[in-house]
Structure 1
Amino acid sequence: MRHTLPIAPQFYVTAPQPCPYLEGRMERKLFTALTGENAEALNDTLSKQGFRRSQNVLYRPSCSECSACLSARIDVAAFTPSRSQRRTLRRNAGLLRRVTSPWATEEQYALFRRYLDSRHSDGGMADMDVFEFAAMIEETPVRSRVIEYSDGDTGELVAVCLSDMLDDGVSMVYSFYTPDRPKASLGTHAILDHVELAREAGLPYVYLGYWVPGSPKMGYKANFAGLEVYAQGHWQRMRDPRDYDTELHPLSTDPIAEQVAGITLPGARPAKG
């Protein structure tokens, strides 16, 4: 009887390009393909090591002289909403949550375009057409869901989240919402509701993507209690945001070969430290 050994994923590095978070810097990503029957296990395992999913790719920042980007997650058991977050929940009490399969609709795309035109008109997604949008939503080899939030009175779709169901949490892959309700704090509401979703499912974490000290775009993530960041190879409770270093240094990031050697793959024992 012939036995086929599993093929270890191959890791690659992108060419440097302008950083979308810190002006004047260049970003570089370490990435691997997310395909095959082992995709869910790979997504679960690498998400615990600071990786994020984008369609059929898992990636993690690997900039040559900068280590500012830190993967962030909320420890659900340690989370309590702040006074302003409780106001946000009350303000949006009339919204209805609908969880669906990852299937794109014209209504979602119309909301997505309004969101980009208002908030990120000069971003990397600004020219995304309806087919590319559908690919972002639908091309997923893992257990993903679309969470829609609609006005309970009018039925208007006001916010959408594409989220992955991991073995230890809910990962918010991408979110967008109407620009017509600036006082509603819909982005904050979506995160708060994902904390509730994780609680309902008995999952300990909500993964938020990257927090970047010094970046106004990412600053809101530091406002959530129970926040953990992935730094120096392990998760740690977030300290005062002002304590985190954004200075450039040529030794801030390990060589690519050492980074890849330190990655734990599905079925392997986690690295110590």
Structure 2
Amino acid sequence: MTELKELHFFATPEHNCSYIEGYKAKTLFVDPHSSISVNAFSQLSNLGFRRSGKHTYRPHCDNCQACISVRVPVDLFQPNKTQRRIINKNKDLVVKKSTPHYSDEYFKLYSDYITYRHADGDMFPPNKEQFINFLIEGEQPCDFLEFYLDDKLIGVAVTDQLVQGLSATYTFFTPDPDLQKRSLGSYAILWQIEECRRLNLEYLYMGYWVQSCRKMKYKIAYRPLEFLIDGQWILIR
């Protein structure tokens, strides 16, 4: 079993920050040639690391700590009125689990999502190689949670399995305007929280929250949240 002390890390040179315009960022990576056990990856998640394909990383900036890891303590979470409404709107959806793999159906959904919602980001324009590198490659246990409406795939939540919880790696879903009232992105998070409960897991890890980043503000709706601050998880209600 891989231990943290056996892993090698390296930091990137400064590059443009993906979250705050005009800022420079550095990233700390685990050596991508390392074999990371589930136990070690779970410990890394507790230290604020995330996974993107084969790469396990966390921000490592010299003069900025704006990126804060957040996780939902499942036993304390109770959906609010808006979230209960979202759950009720989506009771007719069927959710299936699949191992990560490429399909034209997945890529079409992913491509439509990126084009509609993130055309201003560094993931646009989407391509197959990017999709595979980002969501399929990697050795960690992972599920594609498929959301179906009347046998039609309308969303996928990519979810890593940890010893102590689940990690919401990425979610993509249809931009169909007729389905916008379903709030599919929010429902995917709520479903994963409930899945943690079903599996008797403590946390849903939701990646990084940056206060000044508009696209990340949705994360603070899932209270109470734990924030990783100065190496300690702090409960914020």
Classify the TM-score, shorter chain.
over 0.9
- What CA distance in whole angstroms lies between the structure 2 residues aligned with 1:41 and 1:104? 27
Among candidates 201, 222, 225, match of residue 224 of structure 1 = 222
Asked if the contact 2:4/2:40 (under 8 Å) is kept, the reply is no
Structure 1 residue 58, shift from structure 2 partner: 1.2
Deviations 1:213-255 (A, max 9, x none): 121110010011221111111111126xxxxxxxxxxxxxxxx
Q: Which has the higher strand share?
A: 2
Q: Deviations over 1:176-225 (max 9, x none)?
A: 11111222111110000001111111101000010111211100100112
Structure 2: which 5+ residue stretches go unaligned? none
Note the aligned Cα RMSD (angstroms): 1.8
Does the aligned pair in 1 maintain the 2:226–2:233 contact within 8 Å? yes
Q: What is the rounded CA distance, in whole Å, between the counterparts of 2:234 and 2:32 in structure 1?
A: 27
The CA deviation at 1:37 is: 4.9
Change (3 A) 1:94 1:103: same
* Distance change >3 Å, CA 7–CA 235, structure 1 → 2: closer
Structure 2: distance between partners of 1:33 and 1:104:
25
CA distance in 2, matches of 1:21, 1:135: 21
| 2: CA distance, partners of 1:182 / 1:17 | 35
SS in 1 for 2:215: coil
User: How many percent identity over aligned positions?
Assistant: 35
- Aligned residue for 1:114? 112
Q: CA deviation at 1:87?
A: 0.6
Q: Separation in 1 of the partners of 2:4 and 2:65? A: 32
Is the aligned partner of 1:183 residue 2:181?
yes
Q: Deviations over 1:36-69 (max 9, x none)?
A: 5543222111001111011112111111211011
- Decide which of 53, 77, 102 is 2:75's aligned counterpart: 77
Q: 1:139 aligns with which of 137, 140, 149?
A: 137
C-alpha separation in 2, matches of 1:85 and 1:162: 21
Distance 1:35 1:163, change over 3 A: farther
| One-letter identity of the residue aligned with 1:230 | L
Query: Residue 162 of structure 1 aligns with which residue?
Result: 158
Partner Cα distance (1:169, 1:127) in 2: 32
Residue pair 1:33, 1:56 contacting (<8 A) in 2 also: no
Matched, 1:61 2:64: no
So what's the TM-score if we normalise by structure 2? Answer: 0.93
Q: Which moves more between the two structures, 223-232 or 135-144? A: 135-144
Q: CA separation in 2, counterparts of 1:209 and 1:37?
A: 22
1:186 maps to amino acid: L
Structure 1: gaps spanning 5 or more residues: 240-273
**1:115 aligned partner, one-letter code:** Y
Higher Rg of the two aligned structures: 1
Kept after mapping to 2: 8 A contact 1:40/1:141: no
**What CA distance in whole angstroms lies between the structure 2 residues aligned with 1:83 and 1:28?**
39
Instruction: Give secondary structure in 2 for the equivalent of 1:85.
Output: helix
Q: Which digits, 9 at most, give the CA deviation of each residue in 1:137-177, with x for residues without a partner?
A: 321211111101010x2x22111111111000000111111
Which amino acid in 2 is paired with 1:188? S
Cα distance in 2 for partners of 1:122, 1:72 equals: 25
Separation (CA, whole Å) in 1 of partners of 2:182 and 2:15: 34
Kindly provide the amino acid, as one letter, of the partner of residue 120 in structure 2: D
